[in-house]
Amino acid sequence: MFHDSRGPIEQFSWGRFVVCGEEHGKVHGAKIGKGKDIRLIGTKVSKWKEREGHRLSKSMISGVFDERLDVLIIGIGVDGLIECPDEVLKHIKSRGIERVILKNTPYACRIYNDLYHEGKRVALLAHGTC
């Protein structure tokens, strides 16, 4: 679905990310690395454990507000099934992140890498399935 040897996101496929050579996902029912939902800031990956269901809430947007970001990208799933209500977008902007990009996860990965290489302070919250 997505390949970019420049990284930091080198590969993405259903439920699986490769970031800086480390695999994260859920393969054959087994969790690998940080799992299939990740938070990425720079090259640091953590589990996006707050995401539940297919509709984001304010409380699910975490770990990004103290990072002085230029852009927050939200990967809304392979098929784009995650909803992000306007109230959540307003909350993010009220916390100091002016630019929020919502894209299906493969495209979100590409945008993340591009902005990262442009020197932007960027974070990604990404759902790896649906």
Contact (Cβ atoms closer than 8 angstroms) between residue 75 and residue 127? yes
Cβ-in-10-Å burial (0-12, 13-18, 19+) of 111 comes to middle
Residue 93: which pLDDT band, with cuts at 50, 70 and 90? very high
Over 90: is that where the pLDDT of 39 sits?
yes
pTM value > 0.95: yes
Structure tokens at 116: 């990262």
Sorted by where each starts, the structural domains of the chain and their CATH numbers stand as 36-127 (3.40.1230.10)
Contact (Cβ atoms closer than 8 angstroms) between residue 114 and residue 60? no
**Res 33: pLDDT:** 97
Q: CA-CA distances (angstroms) from residue 76 to 38, 46, 57, 108?
A: 12, 17, 13, 8
